[in-house]
């Protein structure tokens, strides 16, 4: 089936969710204040990167053409787009070595993320990823099928972990 009226390819959605995740978690890692949260962002960025490579390699080997997904991103990019000096409210896109307006130190620009916030993002993106991987499995064969199955397992394990973390955060 060729045409520009096709519904969004679930495989394209898988790729986008993995790639957007790498970009989002890397950026969040750069601006987060808490070292433990930074470590978590780093792990999540690495995880999405591995997932992206896994599926991109399988797509390349299978020789299938995947139209890029164009939908809105599931990651809250607006929450990490800007940093703000908590002392004077100066807004910047990158963290300066010190605030150009009030001279406050670098850390005045770092953002606080609660663990619950992070795990909510993992939960929503992981659930969407698992759905898209499952939808892609229907038409997949060989190496692509194997890659999707392994991706699905990874996401299910991660969303399960997120579920547990969210439950204990709320307890």
Residue closer to Zn ion (CB basis): 77 or 90: 90
CB of residue 90 to Zn ion, shortest distance in Å: 4
**What's the DSSP call for residue 76?**
-
Minimum Å gap between C-beta 114 and Zn ion is: 24
For binding to Zn ion (CB under 5 A), which residues are involved? Answer: 85, 87-88, 90, 99, 101-102, 104
Query: Residue 107 CB, nearest distance to Zn ion (Å)?
Result: 12
Q: Answer for the pair 59, 11: CB distance below 8 angstroms, yes or no.
A: yes
Q: Which is nearer to Zn ion, 91 or 116 (CB)?
A: 91
Let me know the angle formed at the C-alpha of 59 by 55 and 63, rounded to the nearest 5 degrees: 170
Q: How far is the CB of 92 from Zn ion (least distance, A)?
A: 10
For residue 84, the minimal CB distance to Zn ion (Å) is 9
83/92 Cα distance (integer angstroms): 5
CB-based burial label for 110 (10 Å; 0-12, 13-18, 19+): middle
For the record, the structure tokens of 7 come out as 């519904």
Pick the closer one to Zn ion by CB: 104 or 166.
104
Minimum CB distance to Zn ion smaller for 104 or for 115: 104
Strand stretches in the chain, DSSP E: 83-84, 91-92
Cβ proximity to Zn ion, 105 vs 116, nearer residue: 105
Q: Quick one: DSSP state of residue 77?
A: G
Q: Between helices 142-170 and 35-62, what is the axis angle to 10°?
A: 160
Three-state DSSP class for residue 116 = helix
């Amino acid at each position: 089936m060729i045409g520009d009226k096709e519904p969004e390819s679930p495989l394209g959605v898988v790729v986008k969710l993995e790639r957007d995740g790498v970009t989002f978690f890397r950026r969040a890692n750069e601006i987060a204040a808490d070292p433990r949260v930074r470590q978590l962002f780093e792990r999540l960025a690495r995880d999405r990167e591995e997932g992206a490579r896994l599926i991109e390699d399988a797509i390349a080997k299978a020789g299938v053409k995947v139209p890029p997904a164009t939908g809105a991103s599931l990651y809250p990019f607006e929450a990490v787009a800007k940093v703000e000096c908590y002392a004077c409210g100066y807004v910047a896109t990158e963290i300066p070595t010190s605030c150009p307006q009030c001279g406050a130190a670098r850390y005045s620009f770092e953002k606080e993320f609660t663990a619950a916030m992070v795990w909510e993002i993992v939960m929503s993106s992981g659930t969407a990823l698992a759905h898209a991987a499952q939808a892609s499995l229907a038409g997949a064969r060989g190496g692509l099928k194997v890659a999707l199955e392994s991706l699905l397992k990874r996401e299910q394990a991660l969303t399960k972990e997120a579920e547990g973390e969210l439950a204990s955060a709320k307890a």
